[in-house]
């Protein structure tokens, strides 16, 4: 799995090497370069499968100019329509463009999904939804933010490491009876991205990041997420679901150092 | 001492945006923050030599941020002892390459320079003697940054507060909000009649001069905490928290949103 993903990253980087070498002389050229970059990145991630532009089915929102490039909130909203089985969030110009890949289980009601990412330079970000029939639809947004990947870890990363694996969950009851609940999941993890060089030793601080998050209720899946180094420190995921019963939400987090963190959150004590 | 420009680093100000200076004793000179670039440091060096030929024995860095440390290289020929927080060597190792690239893009490679890692480290407290003039150094836990130290010049009852104290320019939070308020309480008890802020005028009365900063940090803490308790999202909070402080600070719009994000990251675990 790890090898496969690294292989993918290598393909992507090789493919866009040429594009990076060209300094955009004007806005049109920059735009053309972004389109070319997305073509290459999408081709590598989705093995050349056809991707059509979302005609209003999904939308992606993020601040046009990020306040903190190492923590950029991204919201994906899905309109009622064809069932969505997966969502991929791509930060086109990040060194590891795939920020997260979600697979939705039977309990998911993916009308809203939020997370926080690192952004290395001005870039398009894409959300790609996979429909039940296997087709892919995408939507994009341009973000101005820079330095979120190679920036030195904030002073808080020491604290994140100290409480690694701790989780918080905030549940928002359904707006109407039988409607979906929303949950904010927060996972303490430094998500070290391996891109900071120590100028004395010339070594990179080793990457250690959240590789997967799985949320289930009573043994049934809400979603699983594959993460990568583009997720911000202390990964946060807001998701919506329809509880099958009153069993607690079980969360399991696996990181790249093979650590496993588990926690259960009762549904009823949080609902009011 | 030299009062820094109330601006971001530019080619015009050569990265000289922080307050930097020096103290002359009877046997030597201590530099307190060597400046925001090699050029800024060389200018400080020239200013020292215009006043005294005594050896520069200590170069003290109040914390790891580039506007305070990149002039360090300008003092290497004097072979001073470089002094800083016990976490400063690691902090510089972690961020110097990144800061260098960003600064060189603005100033040009020739004027940028590099910080010098300290060899004399302040774990809790440390006293330096310039010959009949004692400097009391104190380290804090994470506050403005996680490498903050203060310097009390006992002879003149002057506290060099570094970036634990901003006056006029909006405080920039890179460390720990609650820790900063605690550090303010601690340094308020230091017996000084004036303090030199890291950014702001040459000096302010002490401890009254910290009142505005304490108010801003308290409002920030209150607003972000209340927003988290109300279940608000980080993107909503950045536009609302501490907005009552708008108009009271220079560069408010450049830093307040980032401060809110840093505060949110810390307070979301309460």
Shortest distance, CA A193 to any CA of chain B (angstroms): 13
Q: Which residues contact B142 (CB under 8 A, 6 or more apart)?
A: A155, B175, B176, B179
State the SS3 of chain B: CECCCCCCCCCCCCCCCCCEEEEECCCCEEEECCCCCHHHHHHHHHHHHCCCCCCEEEEECCCCCHHHHCCHHHHHHHCCEEEEECCHHHHHHHHHHHHHHHHHHHHCHHHHCCCCCCCEEECCEEEEECCCCEEEEEECCCCCCCCCEEEEEHHHCEEEEEEEEECCECCCCCCCHHHHHHHHHHHHCCCCCEEEEEECCCCEECCHHHHHHHHHHHHHHHHHHHHHHCCCCHHHHCCCCCHHHCCCCECHHHHHHHHHHHHHHHHCCC
The verdict on a CB contact (< 8 Å) between A197 and B262 is no
DSSP type of residue A146: -
Given an 8 Å threshold on Cβ–Cβ distance, is A67 in contact with B260? yes
Distance CA B142, CA B68 (A): 17
A67/B257 touch (CB, cutoff 8 Å), yes or no: yes
pLDDT band at A195 (very low <50, low <70, confident <90, very high): confident
Report whether B30 contacts B22 (CB < 8 A). Answer: yes
Judge whether B93 is closer than 8 Å to chain A, CB to CB.
yes
* Residue B207 CB contacts under 8 Å (≥ 6 apart), including other chains: B187, B188, B189, B192, B195
Q: Mind telling me how many Å the CA of B154 is from chain A's nearest CA?
A: 31
The average pLDDT across B45-58 equals 97
- The DSSP code for A175 is S
Q: How many A-B residue pairs are in contact by the CB < 8 A criterion?
A: 71
Helix B177-188 / helix B252-267 crossing angle, nearest 10 deg: 100
Phi, psi for residue B229 in degrees, rounded to 5? -60, -30
Percent of chain B with pLDDT over 90: 86
Sheet containing A84-91: which strands, arranged edge to edge? A51-53, A136-143, A123-131, A84-91, A98-104, A220-227, A210-217, A249-255, A260-265
Interface residues on A facing B, Cβ-Cβ cutoff 8 A = 63, 67-68, 71, 73, 75, 114, 116, 147, 150-156, 158-159, 163, 166, 168, 170, 172, 184, 186, 188, 196-201, 205, 233-234, 238
Predicted pLDDT of residue A203: 63
Q: Are A58 and A74 within 8 A, CB to CB?
A: no
Q: Which residue of B has its CA nearest to A159?
A: B266
User: Among A21-35, A187-201, B184-198, B205-219, whose mean pLDDT is lowest?
Assistant: A21-35
> From residue A248, how far is each of A23, A243, B101 by CA, in Å?
52, 9, 49
Nearest to A243 by CA among A215, A267, A211, A209: A267
Q: How many whole angstroms separate alpha carbon B172 and alpha carbon A46?
A: 42
Listed by number, the residues of chain B in 18-77 with a beta carbon closer than 8 Å to a beta carbon of chain A are none
CB within 8 Å: B268 and A168 = yes
Measured between its terminal Cα atoms, the distance across chain B in Å is 41
Q: What is the pLDDT of residue A141?
A: 95
pLDDT at A8 over 70: no
Q: What is the per-residue pLDDT across B219-239, written as a single tens digit (0 to 9) for each?
A: 999 999 999 999 998 988 999
Is A114 in Cβ contact with B97 (below 8 Å)? no
* Per-residue b or e along A2-37, where b marks 16 or more CB atoms closer than 10 Å to that residue's CB: eeeeeebbeebbebbeebeeeeeeeeeeeeebbeeb
Q: What is the model's pLDDT at position A13?
A: 37
Q: Note the pLDDT tens digit of each residue in B198-211.
A: 999 999 999 999 99
What is the band of A12 on the pLDDT scale with cuts at 50, 70, 90? Answer: very low
The span from the CA of A70 to the CA of B177, in Å, is: 18
Mean pLDDT within A18-45: 74
Q: Percent of chain A, pLDDT > 90?
A: 61
Which residues of A are less than 8 Å from B146 in CB distance? Answer: 155, 158
Long-range contacts of B108-114 (CB under 8 A, 24+ apart): B108/B11, B110/B38, B111/B14, B111/B37, B111/B38, B111/B39, B112/B15, B112/B37, B112/B38, B112/B70, B113/B37, B113/B38, B113/B39, B113/B41, B113/B70, B113/B71, B113/B72, B113/B73, B113/B74, B114/B38, B114/B70, B114/B72, B114/B73
B266 contact residues in A (CB cutoff 8 A): 156, 159
pLDDT value at residue A152: 59
Rounded to the nearest 5 degrees, what angle is found at the Cα of A60, between the Cα atoms of A57 and A61?
140
Tell me the per-residue pLDDT of A148-172, one tens digit each, with 9 for 90 and over.
776 655 556 677 788 999 999 999 8
- What distances in angstroms separate CA B12 from CA B5, B39, B46, one per listed residue? 10, 11, 18
CA–CA min distance B204, chain A (Å): 28
Residue B6 CA to residue B8 CA, distance in Å, equals: 7
Question: Distance (Å) from the C-alpha of residue A48 to the closest C-alpha of chain B?
Answer: 34
**Cα–Cα dist B85/B82, whole Å:** 11
pTM: 0.87
Return the SS3 of A92. coil
Instruction: Kindly identify which residue of chain B lies nearest to residue A63, measuring between CA atoms.
Output: B235
Residue A27: the pLDDT is 66
The mean predicted confidence, pLDDT, of chain B is 95
Per-residue confidence band for B94, with pLDDT thresholds at 50, 70 and 90 = confident
Segment among A83-97, A159-173, B249-263 with least mean pLDDT: A159-173
The minimal CB distance from B234 to the residues A73, A159, A163 is found for A73
pLDDT in tens, B130-188: 999 999 999 999 999 989 999 999 999 999 999 999 999 999 999 999 999 999 999 99
Round the average pLDDT of chain A to a whole number and report it. 84
Residues of chain B positioned with their CB less than 8 A from the CB of A152: 91, 94-95, 98-99
Does the structure show a pLDDT above 90 at A210?
Answer: yes
């Amino acid at each position: 799995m790890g090898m496969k993903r690294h292989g993918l990253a290598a393909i992507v980087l090789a493919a866009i090497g040429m594009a990076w070498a060209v300094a955009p002389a004007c806005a049109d050229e920059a735009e053309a370069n972004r389109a070319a970059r997305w073509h290459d990145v999408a081709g590598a991630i989705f093995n050349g499968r056809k991707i059509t532009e979302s005609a209003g089915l999904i939308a992606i929102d993020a601040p046009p100019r990020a306040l903190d490039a190492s923590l950029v909130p991204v919201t994906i909203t899905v309109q009622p329509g064809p069932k969505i089985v997966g969502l991929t969030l791509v930060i086109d110009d990040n060194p590891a463009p795939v920020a997260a890949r979600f697979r939705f289980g039977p309990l998911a009601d993916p009308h809203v999904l939020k997370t926080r990412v690192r952004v290395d330079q001005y870039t398009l970000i894409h959300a790609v939804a996979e429909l039940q029939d296997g087709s892919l639809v995408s939507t994009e947004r341009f973000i101005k933010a820079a330095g979120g990947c190679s920036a030195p870890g904030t002073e808080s990363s020491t604290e994140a490491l100290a409480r690694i694996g701790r989780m918080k969950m905030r549940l928002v009851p359904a707006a109407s009876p039988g409607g979906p609940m929303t949950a904010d999941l927060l996972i303490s993890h430094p998500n070290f991205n391996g891109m900071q060089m120590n100028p004395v030793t010339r070594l990179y601080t080793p990457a250690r990041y959240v590789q997967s998050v799985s949320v289930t209720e009573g043994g049934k899946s809400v979603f699983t997420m594959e993460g990568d180094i583009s997720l911000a420190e202390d990964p946060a995921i807001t998701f919506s679901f329809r509880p099958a019963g009153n069993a607690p939400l079980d969360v399991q987090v696996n990181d790249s150092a093979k650590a496993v963190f588990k926690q259960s959150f009762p549904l009823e004590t949080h609902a009011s | 001492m030299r009062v820094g420009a109330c601006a971001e680093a530019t080619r015009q100000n050569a990265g000289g945006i922080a307050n930097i200076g020096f103290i002359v004793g009877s046997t030597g000179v201590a530099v307190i923050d060597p400046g925001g670039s090699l050029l800024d440091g060389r200018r400080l060096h020239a200013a020292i030599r215009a006043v005294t030929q005594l050896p520069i024995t200590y170069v003290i860095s109040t914390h790891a941020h580039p506007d305070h440390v990149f002039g360090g290289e300008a003092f290497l020929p004097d072979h001073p002892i470089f002094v800083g927080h016990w976490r400063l060597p690691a902090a510089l190792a972690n961020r110097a390459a990144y800061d260098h690239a960003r600064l060189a893009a603005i100033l040009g490679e020739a004027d940028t320079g590099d910080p010098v890692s300290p060899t004399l480290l302040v774990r809790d407290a440390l006293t330096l003697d310039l010959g009949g003039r004692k400097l009391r150094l104190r380290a804090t836990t994470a506050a403005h940054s996680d490498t903050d130290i203060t310097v009390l010049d006992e002879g003149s009852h002057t506290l060099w507060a570094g970036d634990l104290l901003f006056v006029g320019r909006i405080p920039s939070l890179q460390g720990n909000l609650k820790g900063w308020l605690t550090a303010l309480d601690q340094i308020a008890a230091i017996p000084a009649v004036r303090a030199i802020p890291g950014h702001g005028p040459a000096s302010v009365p002490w401890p009254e001069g910290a009142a505005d900063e304490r108010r801003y940090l308290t409002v920030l803490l209150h607003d972000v905490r209340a927003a988290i308790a109300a279940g608000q999202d980080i993107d909503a909070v950045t536009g609302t928290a501490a907005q009552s402080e708008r108009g009271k600070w220079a560069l408010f719009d450049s830093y307040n949103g980032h401060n809110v994000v840093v505060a949110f990251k810390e307070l979301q675990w309460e």
